[in-house]
Amino acid sequence: MSVIIGIDEAGRGPLAGPVVAAAVYIPEKFDTSGIKDSKRVSPKKREELYSRIIGECQVGIGTIAPEEIDDLNILQATMLAMRLASEDLSIQFDKVLVDLNRCPKIRNGESIV
């Protein structure tokens, strides 16, 4: 069975601030009902889902500061944040699903997925 992680980012649209990516592994037993686009979930429900996800799933975070974004450009900063988020996970994975039109080179142990 393949271990699949998902990665998404926030902060590509604003004019100022960091870009942040999260990598998440959701175990098979996790109840995903109620999870959908966070923009379509009430703030209360979003907090409930956040608590469940943090408590029951593996989560990695990557953050790139505005100064680094200026040096790299927003696309490269986003790719770096995604790679850092994947490296922040404590599990080995086989595949990556990315909510972007391209995938950064992500090292998992000795292989690049």
Torsion of CA 108, 49, 28, 9, to 10 degrees: -30
**Residue 113 falls inside a structural domain:** no
**Residue 111 falls inside a structural domain:** no
- How many domains, in total, are found in the chain? 1
Let me know: does 39 contact 97? Beta carbons within 8 Å.
no
Q: Which of 113, 96, 95 is nearest to 105 (CA)?
A: 113
The domain that holds 39 is classified in CATH as 3.30.420.10
Which residues are bridge partners to 25 per DSSP?
Answer: 58
Position 51, amino acid:
S
**Residue 87 falls inside a structural domain:** yes
pLDDT per residue as tens, the chain (113 positions): 789 999 999 988 777 889 999 999 999 999 988 787 778 888 998 899 999 999 999 999 999 999 999 999 999 999 999 999 999 999 999 889 888 777 788 877 554 55
Structural domain for 29, as ranges: 4-105
**Residue 110 falls inside a structural domain:** no
**Residue 22 falls inside a structural domain:** yes
